Homo-oligomer: A and B are copies of this chain.
Amino acid sequence: MTEKQRLILDAALKLFARDGYNSTSTNKIAKEAGVSEGLIFRHFRNKEGLLDFIVQQGLEIMKGELDKTGLLKDPRAKLKASLLLPANIVEAKPDYWKVQVSLKYMNHEIAEKYHESEFMENALALLLDAFTELGYKNPALESQLMMMIISSLFLSLVHGDIDNHDELMEFLVKKYKL
């Protein structure tokens, strides 16, 4: 990874997050990064290759966080960590998740590649374990509902339109007796 490669990746992530993938031309990326436009294609083959590279990194971070959560023994701790996951990962790399989310809703071939991943199934399995262990009557539906809450939380955080995150967390923790 040369310095210019880093500059290109940083510029692309910033612009993709701010303006969207389609509205960001390779010309703009090159200008923002302070490199020649041709260099983008030497290092990343094409515009989509650049996107690929960026998003692949994000997916691995997400997977790492989820694995950490899975290691927890106490089911209540697992659920609490799952609820806090969105805030933690979005805060760490907001631009990353802005791009990820916009891809999901772009309904374009590019989007599907990343979101058919086994990630959701892993997360759901983790919740299912916890609710089962806690003796909930209908753990499958409980975890489906929890999953909906978590993804909604994630979206709100990415778009920056949530102003009472801590209060909301406290409310949920109390509701689920975590």
Interfacial residues, chain A to chain B (CB-CB below 8 A):
17-20, 22-23, 98, 101-102, 104-108, 138, 141, 144-145, 148-149, 151-153, 155-156, 164, 167-168, 171-172
Contacts and interface: CB of A to CB of B under 8 A. Distances in A.
Contact of A107 (B98, B148, B151, B156): B98
A167 B19 CA distance: 39
Contact of A152 (B22, B152, B172): B152
Q: How many copies altogether?
A: 2
Instruction: Output the residue of A106, A107, A149, A156 with the most chain B CB within 10 A.
Output: A107
Nearest to A104: B105
B145 A148 contact: no
Contacts of A17: 107
A98 B111 CA distance: 15
B141 A171 contact: yes
Contact of A19 (B108, B138, B153, B168): B108
A108 B156 contact: no
